[in-house]
Amino acid sequence: MTPEMALLWEVSLVEFLIVTVVIGGGLAFAIGRSTARSWSGWGVLVFDVLLLTVAIRFLHFSLFHGTFFLPPATVGTALHYALVDFVVLVAFAAAGRLTMRSAQMARQYRFLSAGNGS
């Protein structure tokens, strides 16, 4: 594949959607749910998503001939697309965390939404 080198994707839009959005987004959503379930802080979520970002960049590199962090000549390009992947994955992780946390709150504090003034 010849790279398109757009602002959000490096090789192609389809590759970005499959690897970053579908695979990475699903895993990031699970990270968000697990940090909410274990009552961990946002720092744990960001660290876990950072590790996931490196793994997703490696998938882009190994499967679709994208850039990785070595050799040093491609570090700038790899950091740009890693930052794009990181932002997308943090958004998915935050959505997973917020949905799980709201379910926890609704289950724990059911009396708050029980009615019109009990």
Q: pLDDT tens for residues 81-101?
A: 999 999 999 999 999 999 999
Q: Rounded distance, CA 18 to CA 113, Å?
A: 39
Answer yes or no: is 26 within a domain: yes
Answer yes or no: is 4 within a domain: no
pTM as predicted: 0.86
Q: Rounded distance, CA 22 to CA 100, Å?
A: 19
pLDDT for residue 41 is more than 90: yes
Answer yes or no: is 118 within a domain: no
Q: pLDDT tens for residues 19-32?
A: 999 999 999 999 99
* Residue 114's pLDDT band (cuts 50, 70, 90): low
Q: Which domain holds residue 21?
A: 13-113
- Number of C-beta neighbours around residue 28 at 10 A: 30
Q: pLDDT tens for residues 53-84?
A: 999 999 999 999 888 888 888 888 889 999 99
Q: How far is CA 73 from CA 7, 45, 57, 67, 70, in A?
A: 19, 30, 16, 10, 8
Q: Rounded distance, CA 9 to CA 42, Å?
A: 27
Position of tokens 């958004």?
Answer: 91
Answer yes or no: is 6 within a domain: no
- Give CA torsion, residues 31, 37, 41, 46, to 10 deg: 0
pLDDT for residue 2 is more than 70: no
Answer yes or no: is 57 within a domain: yes
- Structurally, the chain folds into a number of domains equal to 1
